[in-house]
Structure 1
Amino acid sequence: MAARGDVRFELFEAEDERETLDYDILDKIIKQLEYYFGDKNLSRDKFLQRKLESGNGWVEIDVLLTFNKLRSLTYKKWTVSAAFYWKGSQLLEISRDETKVRRKPAHPWPRRSRTELDELTVFVKGFPLNTCTDELDKFFGQFGQSVDVFMMCHNKTQRKFNEMELTRAIKQTRHAIRVKKDAEYEALAEPAEELKVVPGCLLRVTGLDKVTTWKSLKEALEPYAKVAFVDYCESKGEAVLRFIEEGAAHAVLTKLEQHGKGLHIDGNRVIVEALEAGEEVEYWKKLAAIKRKLRNRRGRHNSRSVQRGKKRRSEERSISPDNMME
């Protein structure tokens, strides 16, 4: 269970089985990708420039996952895909096969000169040595939207830089082999399943207080209908609950109207509404995409089970698609 203040996405399929995605991590993944593809970083990242040119603007997610900062957030390709499904990006888009990322055609790389970039850049010093980029983003955000925040580290020697480049090259080779194997596996994959939509079971709750947790949400609605799924974004103060039975969302609204007192959670009166038909379809598409990726991920790893270590097997069991399926 998350501590208070965590933003988490939880799927309830059984009392002891649930799959969790951290909304904060998804948001950080998008921000880090936008930094890599930002004007400032692209102007000096020769490696990424070559990848963009050779890939017609696209860069393989497997290549991006070799970058230290992104890899510290996730090493799973499907998590990057989930970040685009749930968070989205104004600057970037993911390919249809969900293996590559590029800048949107509406935001092409401007290829500004060094002089032009310098005119848009400020140099600030005096921060504590242990300051991280997330803290700098928050600090500069109060003065306006910043495209890139780059920390200058003077203690890195050329020797260390070369070692890092060599390590990155080795990782790229390993990932290239993995990409080829994954492509062969996906070529043998079964046709996509027909989208399953249970109408009238999704209920949106807005106006939530910061102290509200997924548990209090579930407990508040359980007396009206059995809850199977809780999608709670604390930073937005809203949640979407999926009930087990078809039409349960409308039934819950009817019961609340009959009581005439509305719905109160943690002492706060909230707003509840059933999702419209179009919203329901989009929501089920996103959920199906995540489940499909979990199944595919499990299948690929099972085919390579001899090569896996204990730690890797443990991680895969924790994201088993069986925990997400009905």
Structure 2
Amino acid sequence: MTTEEKVESAAPVPTYEDLREKIIYQVEHYFGDFNLPKDKFLLSKTQENEGWIDLDVLLTFNRLRSLTTDREMISKAVLSSDSGLIEVSEDRTKLRRNPERPLPEAFKQQFLDKTVYVKGFPKDTPLDDLIEFFKQFEAGCVKMRRYSYNREFKGSVFVLLPSVEAAQKLRKAEGLKYKDNELILLMAKEYSDKKEAEKGATKKSARKANDNDDKNDLNDLAKFEETLAKMDKKPGVFMILTDIKKEYEIDFKQIKEFFNATANKVAFVDIDAEQGRAVLRFSEANGAKNAAAELATDGKIIIKEKELPIEVLEGEAETEQYKKQAQIKMARFENERAHRKRAGQHRHEGYRGKGGKRPARGDRRNGGDGPAEKRTKVE
């Protein structure tokens, strides 16, 4: 291979525009409300030198260093952020968290002030309907509250809003109804105080279960914010297909194969068979736009000789879809957690169900480990 051929085959060096958003995300993650309180090393550094931390210190962190070791590029990217979270020193060699943005005193305070408890929904209400309902309040996350023992919906939710002001606006929405049901609205702090007042009249075991459920719900709101922040939010990647009738027998594999046969690769397909609707997320930025321009005629594509209307999400619709994707990830996490909990209960109960007895030691018929000669024939 010649020198020229080696140069041509080398991977392109990422430019500032390629890395800017990733640098901002990573540095703001380090100094953010979720990470900084738990990072003992970085937190101790913020107590020195009026909070200024040398870029050389930050470049000992693997994730930032894997993006770039160019100090000027890092400071330039952080300066371009409009979040106001981080300040850059005049000589561009140090960063610090904005002194006017102090860390929340505690985990609960960070989320309680932006969270509203809402009760009064029918027990069969699907999550999609709840998300759609709270769009009018610009909700970030809607957390369905479930009973820990059977995972059934309690009819109440925690709603995480983008700001304290937005949360208070929802709290003051008097007479708010879902269909014909009037809803009960409380700030999460009000709800927490109310539960504390009821503790004296509640059995200890039930109280403990309820307290754990509430703690898990608030932890999930934190997990949602972290999940949403970490998502690689590329523009123009969501496409909606509609009018997918059941008799068409079009599944997610066929949709994915249709697009992957072109240069427009699909990373995710979610089909709602009842609504005849599919959500697609493309791998590359503007993948949905490019696919629509290349494959659609009069706003429709043809799969298995069937015309399907399409819509490429942009602006607020795209933002809402990213929130929904984060909630899908959170729901998967919640289901896995419930599964692990049930598996642990089964192990504790000897796989015989609640109230079942463990095999007696020495009884080989029931799975014990006694000597073989003690086995008896079972008719």
Is TM-score (shorter-chain normalized) higher than 0.5?
no
TM-score between the two structures when normalised by the length of structure 2: 0.36
Choose between structure 1 and 2 for higher RCO, CA contacts under 8 A separated by at least 6 residues: 1
**Bigger Rg over Cα:** 2
TM-score between the two structures when normalised by the length of structure 1: 0.40
